């Protein structure tokens, strides 16, 4: 598929990578995969199954990749677990509090990474894949590899505006998630060698989208 394109995008919560990824995929006619929603869906699956997510061995034994069915349509993103649409449920506070623990389990990451690679390889149009370990682990050979970030205050302001939450608490929550993601033993959040960093702290969303589209078009030739 000479015209297909894989765009790998990493970055912390609240940096705007999901909005950018969806917009770029829509503009370029690509599929879109939110890998973070996959880990959230696995967390919801564990919690809904009564699994103690603090027990990493039990989480590893219970994890099954086939229960996770993400949408790759940028106009209708969402995810199902065993056929049930849980797109709203996975954004709950309970899932948010538990996702770092579940996503840190090596067996869970192995299952999800293999599924993410399979989805990317089977895309007929090309795909934008966003998450926290896409450039370094999942798709290290992607022709476009980006790390989208912003300072904690800017990210907290954006997330609080989206959720109607309090900025100080939101920033605290984001910083705790950053620490958990960047210090986990398996596939930590980091800037992969060769990835291009885009700091969106002082950028408008439309400008970030335009920049990424320009990068993608240049890579596509």
* 194 vs 102: CA distance, rounded Å: 28
Structure tokens at 61: 């034994």
The reported pTM is 0.90
Determine the structural domain holding residue 85 and report its residue range: 7-211
Task: With beta carbons less than 8 A apart as the criterion, state whether 159 and 170 touch.
Answer: yes
**Domain for residue 139, yes or no?**
yes
**Domain for residue 74, yes or no?**
yes
* 185 vs 163: CA distance, rounded Å: 30
Among 48, 188, 178, CA closest to 109? 188
Residue 1 has pLDDT above 50, yes or no: no
Per-residue pLDDT tens digits for 160-176: 887 788 889 888 888 88
Q: What is the mean pLDDT of residues 144-167?
A: 89
Instruction: Please tell me which residue, 6 or 174, carries the higher pLDDT value.
Output: 6
* 161 vs 40: CA distance, rounded Å: 21
CATH number of the domain encompassing residue 98: 3.40.50.300
pLDDT tier for residue 47 given thresholds of 50, 70 and 90: very high
> Which pLDDT score, from 0 to 100, does residue 2 have?
41
**Domain for residue 217, yes or no?**
no
Domain count, the chain: 1
């Amino acid at each position: 598929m000479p015209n297909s394109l894989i765009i790998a995008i990493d970055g912390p919560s609240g940096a705007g990578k999901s909005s950018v990824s969806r917009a770029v995929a829509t503009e370029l006619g690509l599929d879109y995969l939110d890998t973070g929603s996959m880990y959230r869906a696995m967390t919801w699956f564990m919690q809904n199954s009564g699994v103690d997510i603090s027990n990493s061995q039990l989480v590893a034994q219970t994890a099954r990749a086939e229960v996770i069915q993400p949408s790759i349509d940028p106009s209708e993103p969402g995810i199902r677990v065993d056929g049930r649409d849980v797109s709203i449920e996975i954004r709950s506070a309970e899932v948010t509090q538990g996702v770092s623990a579940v996503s840190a389990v090596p067996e869970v990451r192995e299952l999800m990474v293999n599924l993410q690679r399979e989805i990317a390889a089977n895309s007929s149009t090309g795909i934008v894949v966003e998450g926290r370990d896409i450039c370094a682990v999942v798709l290290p050979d992607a022709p476009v590899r980006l790390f989208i970030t912003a300072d904690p205050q800017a990210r907290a302001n954006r997330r609080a505006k989206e959720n109607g939450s309090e900025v100080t608490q939101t920033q605290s929550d984001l910083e705790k998630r950053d620490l958990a993601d960047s210090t986990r033993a398996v596939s930590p959040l980091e800037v992969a060698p060769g990835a291009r960093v885009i700091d969106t702290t002082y950028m408008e969303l439309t400008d970030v989208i335009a920049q990424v589209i320009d990068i993608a078009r240049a890579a596509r030739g």
